[in-house]
Structure 1
Amino acid sequence: MPEASNSRIYTGSRVLGYVSTHVPFVARFIKRRGETLLCTSVGKWFHTYGCDKFRLLSVSGEHPGPITCMSGDNYHVYTASENNIYAWRRGCELKHVYKGHNSPVHLMFPFGIHHISIDEDNVLKIFDIKDESEFLELEFDQTTFKVTTLCHPPTYLNKILLGSEQGQLQLWNVRTSKLVYTFKGWGSAVTVVEPAPAVDVVAVGLASGKIVLHNLKFNKVVMEFIHDWGMVSALSFRLDGVPVMVTGSSEGHIVMWDLEERRVLSQVKKAHYSKISGLKCLMSEPLMVTNSEDNSLKLWIFDLPDGGARLLRKREGHSKPPTMVCHCEPSGNNILAAGSDSSLHIMNTVSETFNKNLGKASHNRKKSKKKKRLQMDHLILPPITKISSCMQRDKQWDSIASLHDGFFVATTWSYDKMRMGDHKLKPPDMDKGIVANCLTVTHCGNFVIIGYSNGQVHKFNMQSGMHRGHYGKEDKLAHKGAVRGVETDLCNSRMISVGADDLLKFWHFKSATTPYRVMRLQESVTSTKCHRDSGLLALANEDFTITLVDIDTMNIVRQFDGHEGRITDIEFDTQSRWLITSSMDCTVCTWDIPSAQLVDVFSVEQPCTSLSMSPTGDFLATTHVGEVGVFLWANKLLYEKIFLKPIDKREINIPKLKLPSTAPEKPEIDDLGVIDLGDEPEYRSPIQISEELITLSDQPTSRWLNLLHLDIVKKRNKPKTPLTVPKSAPFFLPTIPSLELEFDLEKDKDGNRETKLLMPDSLSTLTVFGKKLVGCETDENYEKCIEKLKTLSPAAIEAEVTSMAPDAGGSIDVMKQFLRMLDVMLKSNRDFELAQSYMSLFLKMHTKVISHNEELRDVLVAVEDTATQTWAKLQNQLLYNICVVKALKDM
């Protein structure tokens, strides 16, 4: 059986929407950049963000398994995956690998030249950072002291403080490997330990919700606080001179405590929708960063009147796996994604900086806004199951409609305003227990058609949200059973509905009590997809087949059979040549509609729940079970010559592809320590490149751009009044004979115009550059003259070229040599713009001399031929690139 190693059409590109997991982030201040960098785990990779603009700076290499914990110092970012620890420089360069643990590592802490790590077997190991050697190993009994957290108290040399699940604290000297002291604890598991700005004091967060500030030196409690929202999951102190402690809870709340008055200063409820994993106040700034397993990273600023924090910046994705994805713009740059967390996101394929969160669907948007971040769970609507959009009237009114799981009310969203709409679309006199199953927004954007589980189909106005009628007779039933799909054509003249009664009905759009055509289907339909431009309607059947119907002729035109599981989604490409389908059998199939043949198939690890083809045809976007990201697959047919042939699914081994990652895929190797970071590209000098291409010089434009206009520049820069140099007084001042002392200054007023330097006519009047040019015989000599010319200023270059004329002290030989130098420059394929500029200046200055001298004309013809060949080579490359870019834009 032949085996395919890859998909014919698609290749993994990247994933959108991953920001953070349950692993606490790492904050590192880079002095050279003057910026704090934030590193967050996203599964097998970690992202590095700049704190100033929250831009994604780099993505690490792939780890063998999910990252379990992270730490960092001034030089490295340390990540733990499975049983090994990895040290990274600049966020993507692997420098060290530390091996020795027999179980996954869950705690790490850089400690000077050493690195401390604790695994799930309760074994503490200390590694030398440079040598990667093991310095110390301590094993703890899990029944009496299971380590849950650790820190280093400042000024405590070579000592670390360990917290346990049993509630005790232990102070260890890691240099002598001796236990210094054991603190009894407070009867609850220690979840976090953080040194306070005060010496000898540490803050201890407990699973019971208590926060204790404890003095290690005297073993006394300084003060205690009680957390009302579950266990303390994160803790930090403000480091900008304000005595405030900040704590995060397992419920996603943040509390600011005033340490001087020993009270709550302020609080932020529902700062995150899940447990706060990491919390850090930045050094010397009123800023705080938090991350959570709800897939978000947020920057807060302490600028409220009560000392509270305000959200300044954020990066976030779906907190639960999205189940619906669709492109919403003709450019294909923005993707709508909705899913289990009841929120709607816009994913940008160009830069994730432009990602937007339209918020969570709510019963009452205004009330939820007043309550701030939906504190009341009963306001949040169920997960979104269906979305449909049309951007024709997006500036005037809402352009997106969505359905919710087990809910009969449809909601609207505004793409332009980036928020949930004000309308709730519900038909009058709808009985309880009825569920909205399917919907579609018309091509004009004015109406939305919704089908329900009781067989009714209703029409609503998107601008006003008003009910505009139903399809069917007085009983309002369009089908005897649940409606499985509703579609409209391009001109809003027809509405097509499919029901559980296995009937496909064609209705007049404006008003219809009876359909004008009814088709009996062979199989029950689960979902539909209509391509309005071509008039093709795809039906996903319960027997895992796909039926294609032409809505103009109202006939079945194609039948596709090949899936072995429930079909989850159907998608047409822009030209309606391909039909792309996904199924619960973990396969994604591409069918060629004209030939009715399967042309591509591949499988993935997790079943695809939704897919959408870009309007430009460059990317296929998919969502998968258990994944919170939106995955992009590049269309290889745009940049490769591929001939598609029919595939028999039963005769080949279906290739299994890895889901696209945030980093380029690496070859599978056993040891990540010798991971191939990519070979350095071999350096090619301009001389090597010029053998194939034409190169420009490294000269600034000011050296050559204005050579033809120096007279205009000089005239523009000429001062309005001439500069006057003061007359220097003679050593012996002559006097005028008179009774009063007066100096005779008229004697030297005109100055002595006679020169003392006599130059015989027999001597050469050529410049130094001209003499060097006359002596050139080989290309190497000309190269030296070219280098000399590059060092001159524009004014000096003009003077050199002007002085080559016979009437200006030059000669015909110098002019011929200069033309030969230009010929050498053009033949070398280097310094293209300099050669053109020098030639233009030479022709401007010596046009009359060249026209009267036959020798100069002959040399100039040879230079013209060389210049024509060089320009033809450059022109061919430019025209080829312009044609390629234009062809890609027209696709």
Structure 2
Amino acid sequence: MSEKSCSRIFTGCRVLGYVSTHVPFVARFIKRRGETLLCTSIGKWFHTYGCDKFRLLSISGEHPGPITCMSGDNFHVYTASENNIFAWRRGCELKHVYKGHNASVHLLMPFGEHLISIDEGNVLKLFDIKDESEFLELLFDVNQFKITTLCHPPTYLNKILLGSHQGQLQLWNVRTSKLIFTFKGWNSPISVVEPAPAVDVVAVALANGKVILHNLRYDQKIVEFVHDWGHVSSLSFRLDGAPVMVTGSSEGHIVMWDLEERRVMSQIQSAHSASIAGLQCLMSEPLMVTNSEDNSLKLWIFDMPDGGARLLRRREGHALPPNLVTHCEPTGQNMLVAGQDRSLHIMNTVTETFNKSMGKASYNRKLSKKKHRLEKDKHAMPAITKLSSCMQRDKQWDSIASIHRGKYIVTTWSYNKIRMGDHKLIPPSFPKGTEATCLIVTHCGNFVIVGYSNGQVHKFNMQSGLHRGSYGQEKKLAHKGAVRGVETDICNQRLITAGADDKLKFWRFKTATTPYHVMSLEESVTMTKLNRDSGLLALANEDFSITIVDIDTMNVVRKFEGHLGKINCIDFDPQSRWLISTSMDCTICVWDIPSAQLVDIFSVERPCTSLSMSPTGDFLATTHVHELGVFLWANRLLYERVFLKPIDRNAVEVPKLKLPSTIPEKPDLDELGLIDLGEEPEYKSPEQISQELITLSNQPTSRWLNLLNLDIVKRRNKPKTPFTVPKSAPFFLPTIPSLELEFDLEKENIGNGETKLLIPDTLSTLSVFAKKLVSCEDQDYSECINKLKTLAPSAIEAEVNSMSPDVGGSVEVMKKFLEMLRAMLESNKDFELAQSYLSLFLKTHTKTISGSLELRNTLNCIEETAAKSWSRLQSHLLYNICVVKALKDM
């Protein structure tokens, strides 16, 4: 990316705070995970959340336009954007693109191996999911039958049910493309059609607020409900056995209907602050998921005494665009974000799991929390316009203070308790029509200083909320006009106020009668920002310029000019080297304070309303007009070498940057075309990388490590009470001792030989494993080795003990066992098993081996093979140790 098209310092990173839009979510149960995944649209992308913990799992690629509708099945998530349909695997891999519509698609439904889609032109198309071919196309007259919804009734093979704006229903056979039946309807637009758990029954939600359960087979109405709180926007049935229908309204209410008693069972009023876009009860669970265009996704559980649901989990952002963002911790991971929806949120830059909502400000928080309130909350306060915080005493008392639009009351918030505080700061004897304009919380967290539109400046205690004095002598006025900014230094010794009277006054923090210094400013101030560590005070002026004052020398040290619109926000970087500013001309400027030069400038699509630089200097957070999210810009100087040069605003073309998205930019979907990523082959590790290397068996240590100490283990695990055998044992099949259940089927082979003599296997003293060992030929012992791997340690010990001639074995079996161990050592496979089996064999049969020349010769061969393996292992090990030691000494 060239310098002309990008910022020198900042690059787009990601956006926070987007959860849901007006598009209904998609719920998919993934059997392999044992979890239901929820997919929600956030504009040009969609998020995938896990239902168990509501964690964000994946983010899709960017669509060419906003997502208009979504659907899903066991294999794909289908999204429609503009005139195309896209199929995604794993939430982020594009698999198919379906083209052919001439208008925007607004309805999608997977139908077996096909995908049904309906566009705004009232055209129904049926696509083959695998080869992306168009299977069927049906045209409908908009004036006679405008499709608004569709569903597939269970047990109706190859049939779909279409609902119309005219209030009629049509049942179609998509295989033969024939209209089967037309239902007369109810003279009201149909908004939702949902199949009921009962056969032949569907629920039909009308725009007039009625919900009708209709029998398709007999074309009869079963029951009719009337929804009084707006028309039904979503509908679902409980699928865990309870005869309950759940409806969501356009006003955000949820109603549970008892289908047996045909009445309202319970209700959740104001479940969302906007229309409920999607509502679905999960299969075989008392859970329900809803999403809304208020930027929220909620999980409900049916465990209330009246059969209702309570909120279990939620993920939400701002319902209206945020207008204020500020970092509140030294780590820079958490931000306070205030929005026009009157709420205050905590957003985390590391993971969205830590995002929290602190609620909305209220004059009476207890009354606002009362349930069963259909009307709007009369106690809610207006949106927050100014914020200030200090986390020094956050555990003891409230740490955040806020000003609300048009109000003189200042509210406090508790960051530790994640809610609104208990205090409302109101000065004594206040004239009517006055409002708070600015505030600052001191560095110690004990006081908050508030400036008002009548020129007064008051001090309050954050712990008790009590008034602690005011600044000014004449009528207790600090300025003759509105106070535009208040700041305190790091030691709480000085207070600086800026007013509309073009005065900058310096006060002693404790003695509040008269200022000890007054500066006359050339321009009126709109806002102030003080960096307490450096003592630099930035003043944003009405002539779109910025002035920097040193509060120690009380002189103007810098002045920056270059903005073409009202300055919305200013902030310092952690080192006080840069001043970052934004204005209504859609530009963000970075000023270098030591050189007094503009070193970076870029413009964005929409004006930035607020910005905040991270205390660690890694991110710049911004909010923008008509945007619900908080956008993060990464500081390139942390990982790149960038040389900053002065910029002439008039001579350089300002680069225009796109706002950061949820994921890094990817190629457009139109450029990708019809692609098929295919299935990634599962990687299987080879049994042995090289014959020169020693390969372990990957068996648990409990299978071979304690073979020499089994007698100690048996004594430790000996039962305290003797084992009693039942008098009448049940019938059972003979089994082979192993870790897995295996039946002894060797007896079925009796009589298969050529001899006519019937010799039962019970007369043979060899075990099943010993017989397999003797029958091995051509030094191929793989079957015997695999058999040993399945045996428990006690069974392996029993097999080795039974090889002795004294207990029914033979020297031939022992020789075969040694030859098997020699083959294992020569192949360098299962190295630790071979060593363990050899140790157990030598411990058990020492006397027998010493008396057999044949066994001693075989042991000599094994000794030579084992010595070669150990020497090769030792050479490789010593070489690696030397290399590591040499690297450590460098």
Q: Which TM-score band applies after superposition, normalised by the shorter structure? A: 0.7 to 0.9
SS of residue paired to 1:102 = coil
The answer to whether the Cα contact below 8 Å between 2:97 and 2:674 also exists between their aligned partners in 1 is: no
Write the distance in 2 (CA, Å) between the matches of 1:682 and 1:13: 33
Cα offset for 1:718? Answer: 9.8
Task: Report which stretch shifted further, 295-304 or 370-379.
Answer: 370-379
Tell me the secondary structure at the aligned position of residue 615 of structure 1. Answer: coil
Q: Distance in 2 between matches of 1:335 and 1:204?
A: 45
TM superposition shift of 1:823: 6.8
Which residue number corresponds to residue 387 of structure 1?
387
Match of 1:15 in 2: 15
3-state SS, counterpart of residue 670 of structure 2: coil
Counterparts of 1:181 and 1:538, CA distance in 2: 74
Matches within 5 A, 1:606-755: 606-668=606-668, 670-673=670-673
CA shift in 2, pair 1:614/1:218, >3 Å = same
- Cα deviation, residue 662, structure 1: 1.7
Correspondence 1:75 to 2:75: yes
User: What are the equivalent positions in structure 2 for 1:222-301 lying under 5 Å apart?
Assistant: 222-301=222-301
**Structure 1 unaligned spans of 5+:** 723-751, 759-766, 774-782, 801-807, 826-834, 840-862, 877-891
Q: Which of 844, 849, 872 is equivalent to 1:821?
A: 872
2:368–2:377: 8 Å Cα contact kept in structure 1? Answer: no
3-state DSSP of counterpart to 2:673: helix
Report the secondary structure of 1:670's partner residue: helix
Letter in 1 for 2:345: H
Once the two structures are superposed, what CA deviation does each residue of 1:444-498 show, in whole Å capped at 9, x if it has no partner?
0011111111111111111111111111114121111111111100011111111
- Of the structure 1 ranges 388-397 and 188-197, higher mean CA displacement relative to structure 2 is found in 188-197
Question: d(CA) in 2 for partners of 1:721 and 1:299?
Answer: 49
Change beyond 3 A, Cα 1:471–1:120: same
CA contact (8 A) 1:275 1:292 kept: yes
Residue equivalent to 1:421: 421
Distance 2:711 2:481 in 1: 89
Q: Which residue pairs with 1:201 in the alignment?
A: 201
Compared with structure 1, are the counterparts of its residues 374 and 18 closer, same or farther at alpha carbon in structure 2 (3 Å cutoff)? Answer: farther
Cα RMSD (Å) of the superposition?
A: 3.7
Partner residue in 2 for 1:870: 884
Aligned-pair CA distance for 1:166? 2.0
For the residues of structure 2 that align with 1:149 and 1:271, how far apart are their CA atoms? 24
Rounded Cα–Cα distance in structure 2 between residues aligned with 1:697 and 1:631? 52
Could you tell me how far apart the structure 2 residues matched to 1:669 and 1:92 are? 13
Mapping of residues 75-474 of structure 1, within 5 Å? 75-371=75-371, 376-474=376-474
CA distance in 2, matches of 1:675, 1:595: 53
Tell me: CA distance 1:867–1:35, structure 2 relative to 1, closer, same or farther (3 Å).
closer
Distance between the aligned counterparts of 1:466 and 1:569, measured in 2? 30
Structure 1: distance between partners of 2:399 and 2:708: 58
State whether residues 326 and 611 of structure 2, in contact with CA within 8 Å, keep that contact through their aligned partners in structure 1: yes
Supply the distance in 1 between the matched residues of 2:644 and 2:833 (Cα, whole angstroms).
Answer: 58
Q: Distance in 2 between matches of 1:697 and 1:558?
A: 71
**C-alpha distance in 2 between matches for 1:208 and 1:682:** 54
Deviation at 1:14, TM superposition (A): 1.6
Q: Deviations over 1:743-767 (max 9, x none)?
A: xxxxxxxxx99xxx99xxxxxxxx9
3-state SS of paired residue (2:367): helix
Checking the alignment, whether the CA contact within 8 Å between 1:786 and 1:821 is kept in structure 2 is no
1:565 matched residue in structure 2: 565
| Higher mean C-alpha deviation, range 544-553 or range 371-380 | 371-380
TM superposition shift of 1:667: 2.8
* CA distance, structure 1, for counterparts of residue 607 and residue 679 of structure 2: 36
Q: Partners of 2:819 and 2:713 in 1: how far apart?
A: 28
Deviates more, 1:343-352 or 1:292-301: 343-352
Q: Which moved more, 1:659-668 or 1:92-101?
A: 659-668
CA-to-aligned-CA distance 1:705-754 (integer Å, 9 cap, x gap):
x99xx9999999796899xxxxxxxxxxxxxxxxxxxxxxxxxxxxx99x
1:287-321 deviation line (CA, Å, top 9, x unaligned) = 11100000111111111111111111111111111
Give 1:870's aligned amino acid.
V
Query: Which residue pairs with 2:774 in the alignment?
Result: none
- Is the partner of 1:868 in helix, strand or coil? helix
Deviations 1:865-891 (A, max 9, x none): x74333333676xxxxxxxxxxxxxxx
Deviation at 1:443, TM superposition (A): 0.4
In structure 1, what is the equivalent of residue 781 of structure 2?
none
| Offset at residue 795 of structure 1 (A) | 9.1
Matching residue's letter, 2:86: Y
Distance 1:444 1:697 in 2: 64
| Superposed CA offset, 1:145-192 (max 9, x none) | 221111112222222211122222222222222222222222221111
Q: Secondary structure at the match of 1:366?
A: helix
Q: Structure 1 residues 119 and 721 mapped into 2: Cα distance closer, same or farther (>3 Å)?
A: closer
Q: Which residue of 2 aligns with 1:504?
A: 504
SS of equivalent residue, structure 2 residue 234 = strand
Residue 786 of structure 1 deviates from its aligned partner by 6.6
The one-letter code of the counterpart of 1:39 is C
Q: Secondary structure at the match of 2:4?
A: coil
Kindly tell me: are residues 201 and 488 of structure 1, through their superposed partners in 2, closer, same or farther at Cα, counting changes over 3 Å?
same
Counterpart of 2:267 in 1: which secondary structure? Answer: strand
For the 8 Å contact 1:529–1:537, the answer to whether it is kept is yes
| 2:10 and 2:633 in contact (8 A); partners too | yes
- Partners of 2:601 and 2:699 lie apart in 1 by 54
Tell me by how many angstroms 1:602 deviates. 2.0
User: Is contact 2:167-2:185 (8 Å) kept?
Assistant: yes
The letter of the residue matching 1:309 is A
In structure 1, C-alpha distance between the alignment counterparts of 2:827 and 2:197, rounded to whole Å = 68
Question: Aligned partners of 1:365, 1:94: CA distance in 2, in Å?
Answer: 47
CA distance in 1, matches of 2:834, 2:334: 52
Closer, same or farther: CA 601–266 of 1 in aligned 2, 3 Å: same
* 2: CA distance, partners of 1:601 / 1:612: 16
Deviations 1:677-716 (A, max 9, x none): 8999999999xx99xxxx9998879879x99xx9999999
Residue aligned with 2:657, SS = coil
Q: Cα–Cα, structure 1 residues 797 and 454, in superposed 2: closer, same or farther, change >3 Å? A: farther
Q: 1:769 to 1:234 in 2, by over 3 A?
A: closer
* Same amino acid, percent of matched pairs: 70
How many angstroms apart in 1 are the aligned matches of 2:415 and 2:268?
28
State the alpha-carbon separation in 2 of the partners of residues 684 and 199 from structure 1.
Answer: 47
Q: What is the CA–CA distance in structure 1 between the aligned matches of 2:310 and 2:862, rounded to whole Å?
A: 78
Tell me what 2:492 maps to.
492
Report the 3-state secondary structure (helix = DSSP H, G, I; strand = E; otherwise coil) of the residue aligned with 1:377: coil
Give the partner amino acid of 2:205. Answer: G
Q: 1:784 to 1:477 in 2, by over 3 A?
A: farther
* TM-score, with length taken from structure 2: 0.81
Deviation at 1:794, TM superposition (A): 7.1
Aligned position for 1:529? 529
**Range with greater deviation from structure 2 (143-152 or 666-675):** 666-675
Distance 1:155 1:668, change over 3 A: closer
